[in-house]
Chain A
Amino acid sequence: MPLFLRFYLERERAILGTITVVFFLCFWEGLTRGWWADLLGPVLGSAAARWRISPIFLSSPTAIARTAIRLFSAGEIWNDLRVSGLEFLLGFVLAIAVGIPAGLAAGWYRRFCFAIEPFLSALNATPRVALLPLIIIWVGIGIWSKVLIVFLGAVVPLCLNALAGVRTTDAKLLRVARSFKAAEGRLFLTIILPSAVPFILTGLRLGVGRAMVGVVVGELYAATAGVGFMITVAGASFQTDKVFVGVVIIALAGVLMIEALARLERRFETWRPKVGAAT
């Protein structure tokens, strides 16, 4: 096999991926710069003008990059980043502090689970962002309304997954521990909690996604600062490049966090009880 073919086959995934992404970006850039209109002009005549799209409407990769550099070097974006980050962090930490213990307790105490189950199911079925208008009435348009919406978004998957983690503990292990007269507290700490860890991590990963939706939607809806606020203000004033800078920041934050949690999850994957193969 020729050398370059082997090189290609070994890295096919990365190469094909890069090519399509580059192609996509060039196509986009060409739309706003009018490359395609100029190219197709001789063939299509006046219809080629449709291939030239106003930068206000679509922006372009280079315009977005330029705006990003301007925003970061001028420093006006740092405040938005700080506010959004703070909202995310406070809401998520609160959700962890409430959701995971509540889920573990609901898995352990059957009656507690019966009591909170209807509320959890109802909350789970409602897109929590529908509560935004109420939350704004209750806590105003400052950061606390966003902290609350992030909390509500993340707490449900955290709680449900912690609950599922306790519930799927291997019954054999519990029976053995009970036969050897392990105290209930000991049982919980040495058997239930470790086997719930993979589920809790899944909950964290899902919760991060929900929390991001919460921050963004909360700030789109009503805010005075934050990346979502920047996006909505930029959109309303047709600064499409600035909107995309915001979207890219959010995408990067999402990819980084979810990737980190997915790694952590794989690390603990071996702990997960294999439900299917239990004999």
Chain B
Amino acid sequence: MRTEGQTLYAADVTGVSSLGKFYVEHERGLIGTGAVLTFLLAWEAVTRSRLVDPLFLSSPTLIVRAGYELFAEGTIWRDLRVSGTEFVVGYLMAAGVAIPLGLALGWYRRLYFCLGPFIDVLNAVPRVALLPVIIIWFGIGVWSKIVVVFLGAVIPMLINTFSGVKTTEERFLKVARSFGASELKIFWTIVFPGTVPFIFTGLKYAAGRALLGVVVGELYAATAGIGFLITVSGATFQTDKVFVGILIVTTTGVLVVELLDRLERRFEGWRPKVGSAT
């Protein structure tokens, strides 16, 4: 989302004092940090002054303390392990199904015609609406969450892999066919490499969906996990613990997306530039 628009705002840094220069050079970081600090201080002040009951809103220091206690007592490790297992197993299963299937759907037109309607419908339904049925089928243990994660993650991976195959440069295929390359060779040396960046984009979108699946699945019905921690703490008005859970989820989301971002940039050079094709 953060595309380059920097050229629109070329700041003039000549002829200002060194303090001003420092500010201008680090403006983005300074303003961002300032805004976050102001927000945290205001939050702390509101609860400290008893303007709002801490039971209701908690406060940054209370959250830090609750987080420290949860990790020190070690009760949280079990929740982390359960949520982590659900996320990893569901996500890997989705990748294991979606990437080969997506490649096949892009390569075999008739297969796409057959399965297309199902993919379109699944894509339009928030998969979490299936939770009550999934609970009936798989119970409230780990497996129901794995299925929700799988369903959430499989669609974006599938659609991106498919469109990766579909956007293969037509000219490359023509050249390869002119030189009598076998279909298998065309697939592995032209189609698949061109699809890799798309697969990574799909993996990145899917990470968010998978995280949503874990959290919602555990909020809805579970016996352990971070979402379970959040919902139990919420039901018992331990707002600070709720925030600890949310922070853990957010951190995980940021880390996973960052990791996949790096992998994606690594393969970015392969992406066919659709706009500038001549």
Contact = CB atoms under 8 A, between A and B. Distances in A.
The answer to whether A and B belong to the same complex is: yes
B28 A114 contact: yes
B220 interface: yes
Contact of B115 (A20, A246, A247, A255): A20
A114 B31 contact: yes
B208 interface: yes
A251 B113 CA distance: 20
B36 interface: yes
A47 to B, nearest CB: 21
A234 interface: yes
Contact of A250 (B27, B129, B211): B129
Main secondary structure of the interface of A (DSSP, over half): helix
A137 interface: yes
A13 interface: yes
B164 to A, nearest CB: 17
Given A168-B5, A254-B124, A57 B249 contact: no
B234 A127 contact: no
Nearest to A166: B5
Nearest to B11: A110
Interface stretch (A37-45, A73-81, A91-99, A118-126): A118-126
- What is the interface residue range for chain A against chain B? 35 or more
B70 interface: no
B185 interface: no
Contact of A217 (B35, B110, B216): B216
Contact of A17 (B35, B116, B276): B116
A168 B253 CA distance: 27
Contacts of B237: 137
B67 interface: no
Contact of A126 (B31, B36, B125, B253): B253
A277 B216 contact: no
A171 B129 contact: no
A235 B136 contact: yes
A138 B132 contact: no
Nearest to B253: A125
Given A125-B253, A129-B219, A134-B234, A17 B114 contact: yes
A252 to B, nearest CB: 8
B39 interface: yes
Contacts of A244: 133
B216 A129 contact: yes
29 contacts: A20-B118, A21-B117, A57-B137, A107-B5, A114-B31, A119-B36, A121-B254, A122-B250, A126-B253, A129-B216, A130-B230, A131-B246, A133-B235, A137-B239, A163-B1, A209-B126, A212-B126, A213-B128, A221-B231, A232-B132, A235-B136, A236-B132, A246-B129, A247-B129, A255-B120, A274-B275, A275-B275, A277-B275, A277-B276
